[in-house]
């Protein structure tokens, strides 16, 4: 099993290319089920999660061609051979559940295992199923599988989500593109990934209005056609590498970076002392003079502070010159990185969904264990400024969402390498 070894050192300097968005890619791949024509995706990251959902798609009969080292994917769902997404595949990746809406809309039937993914708390799928039932689907849970059927097709309706669920918004939106009539989704998710999915579906012939707002209006069409779509910049990888020069010092230009992808996070970074400049190729992030300032943050749906950047931000706050309070409102159990940071000399108190972070002057390298995807990279970031050597174990979590993180950081001066056991 691989591990990442980080030695605390000097400041960072250089450029990092930000990859295409993992979460966007997963949703667009699932949406290719909606058409018989080929869907070509460019700027796709080469990640374990992409390979996992590809396995799910191929099990349904989708043909996939990978070009340019996997950066380009051509998906053809012309001849679906199954409407069952099996447990052994879906359990590995929660986003695999996103095939439910497209598969039901396209074939009138879908059997999808209840999902798995990172152990960061319960993320019930009832809101997905309620939406599909309102659209006329018959839904049953049997033996750990969702059995959904709509032999006469789905029907437009009005859906009011009790919270702005990203996955449920996307499943319902995708299904509604082929429903009869008009579907209105209220309290819809506004994440850039959701907007990107809507833009791709519209390019395929869907009629979706309101993407990026809390109300979506989808007028069903008879069929969708193929498309070539570029995957947008990964905002979580962007935010992650924005933290790196703050922790290690120095200045890094993040190619493809855009402030509109992470508005609240960027504001919090500036509050902590970061200098962020827009360049012709992206964003340049530098640590300003003086220590890192303590900043309070509360995770919220977009455009608020992203839950997927909370662990990285905590690593930075561990080195601030005061006390910050981080509140996690999206997922429970998402402070599992805190005990590992304590092993490195951090001072963090966790009570329920609130973490109080008391900044320390320095941290020390230690063997630590990655507990989930974002926690893994937070430990690597902490290691950039820690005295001595930090060994991050169980980095298979890291490989689900970050492509060659050690190469990207070493290219800007970090002392980091991957070790195979």
The residue assigned the tokens 């941290």 is 363
| CA–CA distance, 233 with 20 (Å, rounded to integer) | 5
Closest alpha carbon to 156 in 218, 214, 99: 218
Closest alpha carbon to 393 in 407, 414, 379: 379
Residues 392/4, Cβ–Cβ less than 8 Å = yes
The response to whether 22 counts as a known ligand-binding position is yes
Q: Is 141 helix (H, G, I), strand (E, B) or coil?
A: strand
The response to whether 23 counts as a known ligand-binding position is yes
Token code pair at residue 163: 């919270």
Closest alpha carbon to 112 in 123, 104, 120: 104
Cis peptide before 185 (omega within 30 of 0): no
Tell me which residues are annotated as active site: 118
Which pairs from 404-408 meet CB under 8 Å and 24+ separation?
405/4, 405/377, 405/380, 406/4, 408/16, 408/17, 408/241
Which pairs from 296-299 meet CB under 8 Å and 24+ separation?
296/324, 296/325, 296/326, 296/327, 297/268, 297/324, 297/326, 297/327, 298/326, 298/327, 298/329, 299/326, 299/327, 299/328, 299/329, 299/330
| CA–CA distance, 314 with 338 (Å, rounded to integer) | 8
| CA–CA distance, 261 with 120 (Å, rounded to integer) | 23
| CA–CA distance, 420 with 138 (Å, rounded to integer) | 48
Please give the radius of gyration of the chain, using alpha carbons only, rounded to the nearest integer. 21
287 forms beta bridges with 274
Q: Alpha helix (H) ranges present in 108-150?
A: 126-134
Residues 226/204, Cβ–Cβ less than 8 Å = yes
The response to whether 394 counts as a known ligand-binding position is no
| CA–CA distance, 85 with 81 (Å, rounded to integer) | 11
The response to whether 94 counts as a known ligand-binding position is yes
Q: Which residues line the annotated binding site for phosphoenolpyruvate?
A: 22-23
Q: Which residues line the annotated binding site?
A: 22-23, 94, 308, 330
């Amino acid at each position: 099993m691989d591990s990442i070894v980080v030695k605390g050192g000097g400041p960072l300097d250089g450029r990092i290319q930000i990859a295409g968005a993992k979460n966007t890619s997963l949703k667009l791949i699932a949406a290719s089920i909606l058409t018989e024509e080929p869907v070509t995706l460019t700027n796709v990251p080469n990640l374990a999660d992409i390979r996992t959902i590809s396995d799910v798609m191929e099990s349904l009969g989708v043909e996939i061609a990978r070009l340019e080292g996997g950066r380009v994917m051509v998906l053809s769902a012309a001849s679906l051979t199954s409407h069952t997404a099996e447990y052994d595949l879906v359990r590995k990746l929660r986003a695999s559940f996103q095939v439910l809406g497209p598969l039901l809309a396209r074939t009138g039937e879908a059997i999808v295992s209840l999902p798995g993914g990172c152990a960061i708390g319960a993320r019930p799928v009832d809101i997905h199923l309620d939406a599909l039932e309102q659209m006329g689907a018959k839904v049953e849970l049997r033996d750990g599988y969702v059995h959904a059927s709509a032999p006469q097709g789905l029907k437009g309706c009005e859906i009011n989500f009790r919270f702005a669920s990203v996955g449920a918004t996307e499943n319902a939106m995708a299904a509604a593109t082929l429903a009869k009539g008009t579907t209105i989704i209220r309290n819809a998710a506004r994440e850039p990934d959701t907007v990107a999915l809507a833009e791709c579906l519209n390019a395929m012939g869907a009629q979706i209005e309101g993407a990026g707002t809390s109300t979506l209006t989808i007028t069903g069409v008879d069929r969708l056609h193929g498309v070539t779509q570029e995957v947008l910049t990964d905002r979580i990888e962007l935010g992650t590498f924005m933290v790196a020069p703050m922790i290690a010092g120095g200045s890094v230009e993040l190619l493809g970076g855009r402030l509109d992808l992470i508005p609240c996070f960027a504001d919090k970074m500036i509050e902590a002392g970061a200098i962020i400049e827009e360049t012709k190729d992206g964003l340049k992030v530098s640590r300003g003079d003086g220590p890192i300032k303590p900043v309070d943050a509360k995770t919220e749906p977009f455009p608020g502070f992203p839950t997927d950047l909370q662990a990285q931000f905590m690593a930075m706050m561990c080195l601030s010159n005061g006390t910050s309070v981080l509140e996690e409102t999206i997922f429970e159990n998402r402070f599992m990185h805190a005990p590992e940071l304590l092993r490195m000399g951090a001072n963090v108190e966790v009570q329920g969904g609130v973490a109080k972070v008391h900044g320390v002057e320095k941290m020390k390298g230690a063997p630590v264990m990655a507990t989930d995807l974002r926690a893994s990279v937070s430990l690597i970031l902490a290691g950039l400024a820690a005295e001595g050597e930090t060994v991050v174990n169980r980095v298979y979590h890291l490989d689900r969402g970050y492509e060659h993180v050690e190469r990207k950081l070493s290219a800007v001066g970090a002392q980091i390498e991957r070790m195979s056991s």
